[in-house]
Structure 1
């Protein structure tokens, strides 16, 4: 595998998407792929935006859906200073030891020929850098603090095209209550219509969610690897999805991918040595006839010895 030298030492470059560090569950890979492909099949055009990229796993995936003429922008602090103490503490705790722009770019270029437009800084710079009503898909996975997430949602609402999709990460994790409050507040008070929720992400739109929900239910109904719960809350249909042994959608290998060495062919088992022939028992001497036994028993010893001697002499003569 190829390597890159960074400030933290030599790092192996990814061969497949799963080699890239980060949190991008298989179910969300399926949903990203389905939503983006559905837009493309419908002829929808618009730019892509990801706020908070970490090491690039989901950014790489999004980049595979960039159509000709579209722009792709990503934003992250990387090594930059956080805008406030709370954000700095959060970044230092979770990312600062590993997150560098160089590492992200090396991972991204392992799969794509060109980098997206990279904004290095807090997410508050996005509204001044991305045009209003320009994006068809926005993924928000940056700060978990309420004030920042509130601002990211506001930016997404302004940046998205009518019917565009926003995805909010960590909307229900126990360690991210700020995201939960900002996300559901947007649903209750700011016109965001939920499309579905996965284990980690909320998918929504400021357009009509019903057509895409109907299409999603049809797609999920054809699968046996996804749990489905269809609920109602505060006047919204909430489709909850959970992976059931789901496999990730196909994704191209990186430029560093090498085929695994073929396993050596199994060697034939040695033929067991032929067993030595069992020794044959010596043939038993033919039993003496009853007449002979009777003669031996009845004749006088002198005569018997004479007969034996005569037979011995006869055998000796035959052997000369």
Structure 2
């Protein structure tokens, strides 16, 4: 019995179709900070520690400028550095592979980021000190690893850079909470704002960032704001589900839609060929069937794995 070949993974057409945890509120706040850096001409690279299937990396890469680097570090399917880390990976990220991340990322962007496959302790070997303007930390939940990731972020960031710490308050990640507040009370990290999932901070002056968030009320549609004070420091807390900001769309979405529409329109012709076509199908002088313009476009622009799937559906 011949085994059936596995179907190729379907490429996402929108960011929503990429698996992962990246709520609309955090997308909005990422956009506020990254857009502000662009508007003010702040230079620097981008760094993400812990990528999962690429959802936040795809979003962040939309703010990358031509002369900047984006480094993504994740274990993916590589061995973990210790048994506790390995157990965490088996429990929470059993389906994660580098291939899946890269396929998702390339559905939205022409080139991959600089991928470091391995523990985040490798980051200082690949990212220069004082080189990054924005760092997202979303890797291990173990205290020792998170504390090291925060130190790596501090070293990598320019003085006015922004760090984002994920899962700083989830009940299943007390190690992240411990490392985060240790950085605030003992290592000079100054919180800018909090969401349900992430803490945004800087080792620079948080006040200009906070004042801009407070001054512009239009972006806060759908959010709730409260102003807190922690150890003499002002902290903004946001909650709610605002509309998703503009996010990168798959560069294949238009072509895939056209192909599907073309296949649907052509279905009656394949199911019930005309008498003329049936009578001439086996004649020696019949012309070969020509590919539609949409199928030709697919062969030119889509990745081979998608093109092969389309050809199988159309019998060609």
**Fold similarity call, TM over 0.5:** yes
Equivalenced residues, count: 256
- Say whether the 8 Å CA contact 2:45–2:132 is kept in structure 1: yes
How far, CA to CA, are the matches of 1:67 and 1:178 in structure 2?
34
Query: What is the CA-CA distance between 1:217 and the residue it aligns to?
Result: 1.1
How far, CA to CA, are the matches of 2:217 and 2:144 in structure 1?
35
Task: Specify whether residues 222 and 101 from structure 1 end up closer, same or farther in structure 2 by C-alpha distance, changes over 3 A only.
Answer: closer
Instruction: State the match for 1:142 in structure 2.
Output: 139
Q: Which one has a bigger Cα radius of gyration?
A: 1
Which of 236, 251, 256 is the aligned partner of 1:255?
251
2:166 is aligned with 1:183 = no
Task: Specify whether residues 255 and 237 from structure 1 end up closer, same or farther in structure 2 by C-alpha distance, changes over 3 A only.
Answer: same
Backbone CA RMSD of aligned residues: 2.0
Q: Which runs of 4+ in 1 moved over 3 A?
A: 7-10, 220-224, 258-261
Query: What is the CA-CA distance between 1:12 and the residue it aligns to?
Result: 1.4
How far, CA to CA, are the matches of 2:129 and 2:224 in structure 1?
36
SS of corresponding position for 1:12: coil
Instruction: State the match for 1:160 in structure 2.
Output: 157
Instruction: State the match for 1:200 in structure 2.
Output: 197
- Say whether the 8 Å CA contact 1:220–1:226 is kept in structure 2: no
How far, CA to CA, are the matches of 2:56 and 2:248 in structure 1?
14
Instruction: State the match for 2:265 in structure 1.
Output: none
Instruction: State the match for 2:40 in structure 1.
Output: 42
Instruction: State the match for 1:13 in structure 2.
Output: 11
How far, CA to CA, are the matches of 2:162 and 2:144 in structure 1?
21
Query: What is the CA-CA distance between 1:250 and the residue it aligns to?
Result: 1.3
TM-score (norm 2): 0.78
- Say whether the 8 Å CA contact 2:130–2:157 is kept in structure 1: yes
Instruction: State the match for 1:281 in structure 2.
Output: none
How far, CA to CA, are the matches of 2:235 and 2:193 in structure 1?
6
Instruction: State the match for 1:289 in structure 2.
Output: none
Q: Which has the higher helix share?
A: 2
Per-residue CA deviation, residues 18-71 of structure 1 (Å, 9 max, x unaligned), is 000000000000011110010010010100000000000000001100012101
How far, CA to CA, are the matches of 2:6 and 2:206 in structure 1?
45
Instruction: State the match for 1:77 in structure 2.
Output: 75
- Say whether the 8 Å CA contact 2:58–2:248 is kept in structure 1: no
Per-residue CA deviation, residues 258-300 of structure 1 (Å, 9 max, x unaligned), is 4596xxxxxxxxxxxxxxxxxxxxxxxxxxxxxxxxxxxxxxx
Task: Specify whether residues 42 and 8 from structure 1 end up closer, same or farther in structure 2 by C-alpha distance, changes over 3 A only.
Answer: farther
Task: Specify whether residues 252 and 221 from structure 1 end up closer, same or farther in structure 2 by C-alpha distance, changes over 3 A only.
Answer: closer
Query: What is the CA-CA distance between 1:222 and the residue it aligns to?
Result: 5.7
Instruction: State the match for 2:29 in structure 1.
Output: 31
Query: What is the CA-CA distance between 1:10 and the residue it aligns to?
Result: 3.4
- Say whether the 8 Å CA contact 2:220–2:242 is kept in structure 1: no
- Say whether the 8 Å CA contact 2:225–2:239 is kept in structure 1: yes
TM-score (norm 1): 0.77
